[in-house]
Amino acid sequence: MTPKLKHLLEVKDLQCHFRVHEGMVKAVSGVSFHLDKGETIGLVGESGCGKTTTAYAITSLLPRNATIQGGDIVFKGRSLLTNVKKDKTIDIFDEQIRKTRWKEISIIFQGAMDSFNPVYKVGDQMVEAIRVHEKVTYEQAKKRVCELLATVGIGPDRFDHYPHEFSGGMKQRAMIAMALALNPSIVIADEPTTALDVVTQYNILREIKRIQREENVAMIVISHDVTTVAEMSDRMIVMYGGKLMETSPTMDLFENPAHPYTMGLFDSIPSLTGDRKEMAERLASIPGSPPSLLEPPPGCVFHPRCPYAFEPCNKDLPPDVEVSPGHTAACFLAEDLYHKRREDEWKKLR
């Protein structure tokens, strides 16, 4: 009997570096998480924290100067890193990985609106994507494309339109349809609504969530915007300086963050109702800027900006502390911060 798979996807201690003129950029350093069928996880953090590199490692879309220094990515029980060469670079033409990408794991890119080729009709580009992976006739693929476009609220009359005839929101919705074209098990959405206006953003996110539920696909939603991700995710992962800072069920993370970086991220979310002066003070709550990943700081990577930093933080790596079931934070003070926050909230309620 085949053993039951523990998780649909497991990222285990992934270490991905980039060779650049100045040395090695340690973009991802020891990242581990899992994803289950039908689940949505949100990956958040400031620009350059390693979110997109992690996504590109999963889909094997890393550039030529990327190296996998360690760890593994296991999908349905098999490694996706079989294309890593002896010198730790990646064979981007590996046939097996090419098949997995799109058919099993698809991605909605950052700025996906510009991903369509402007000289081909949108429908034909989608048909082509299906026919590269499946032996179907043009007519069969076209029927599937029209169904998919309908799923995201685009009529079949748009099949023969060129990308410039689509609005930004429509192009983004067409990209979502394209990502679903081959019935993947996992869809990765990397900043899926960047560059869209707020109303379109809201509609697109609702669309993604609805489709995700109906098709029961697992999703990884990546964004620097915590609120965008929180609305859609069952669990959230907070990254900083190429490392995981905190992982938690979404509700528990919002109610009781246990890592100072997560607290800073949440404190920088503007409120529509708060006092303006107090809010302006709060919004500047993470002083400094993200570290250079050419030479990340020793110890806790967040220590140069952390208001709670103390003696061991600048030399020792903090452990991953489980503060409640499924909620871990990489901080020496995680337990204290988690429980103190809970106590404070409780006092406010009384």
Interacting residue with ligand SF4 among 27, 318, 321, 338 (CB under 6 A): 318
| Minimum distance from residue 339 beta carbon to ligand SF4 (Å) | 15
Q: Identify which of residues 266 and 308 has a Cβ nearer to ligand SF4 in the complex.
A: 308
3-state secondary structure 137-189: CHHHHHHHHHHHHHHCCCCHHHCCCCHHHCCHHHHHHHHHHHHHCCCCCEEEE
Question: Is residue 321 involved in binding ligand SF4 (CB under 6 A)?
Answer: no
Q: State how far Cα 153 lies from the chain centre.
A: 25
The amino acid sitting at 111 is G
Interacting residue with ligand SF4 among 68, 189, 300, 321 (CB under 6 A): 300
Question: What residues between 323 and 342 interact with ligand SF4 by CB under 6 A?
Answer: 331-333
* List of residues 6+ apart from 242 with CB closer than 8 A: 26, 27, 28, 29, 31, 49, 50, 53, 293, 296, 301
Question: Is residue 265 involved in binding ligand SF4 (CB under 6 A)?
Answer: no
Interacting residue with ligand SF4 among 308, 324, 335, 336 (CB under 6 A): 308
Question: Is residue 260 involved in binding ligand SF4 (CB under 6 A)?
Answer: yes
Q: Identify which of residues 116 and 302 has a Cβ nearer to ligand SF4 in the complex.
A: 302
Interacting residue with ligand SF4 among 201, 302, 321, 323 (CB under 6 A): 302
**Region from 14-22, 63-71, 114-122, 301-309 binding ligand SF4, contact rule CB under 6 A:** 301-309
| Minimum distance from residue 243 beta carbon to ligand SF4 (Å) | 10
Question: Is residue 291 involved in binding ligand SF4 (CB under 6 A)?
Answer: no
Interacting residue with ligand SF4 among 53, 303, 323, 327 (CB under 6 A): 303
Say if residue 271 is exposed, middle or buried (CB neighbours under 10 Å; 0-12, 13-18, 19+): exposed
CA dihedral sign of residues 181, 38, 212, 210: positive
CA distance 269 to 226: 8
Element spanning 17, H or E: strand 9-20
* List of residues 6+ apart from 296 with CB closer than 8 A: 26, 29, 241, 242
Q: How many residues bind ligand SF4 (CB under 6 A)?
A: 13
Q: What is the contact surface with ligand SF4 in residues (CB under 6 A)?
A: 259-260, 300, 302-303, 306, 308-309, 313, 318, 331-333
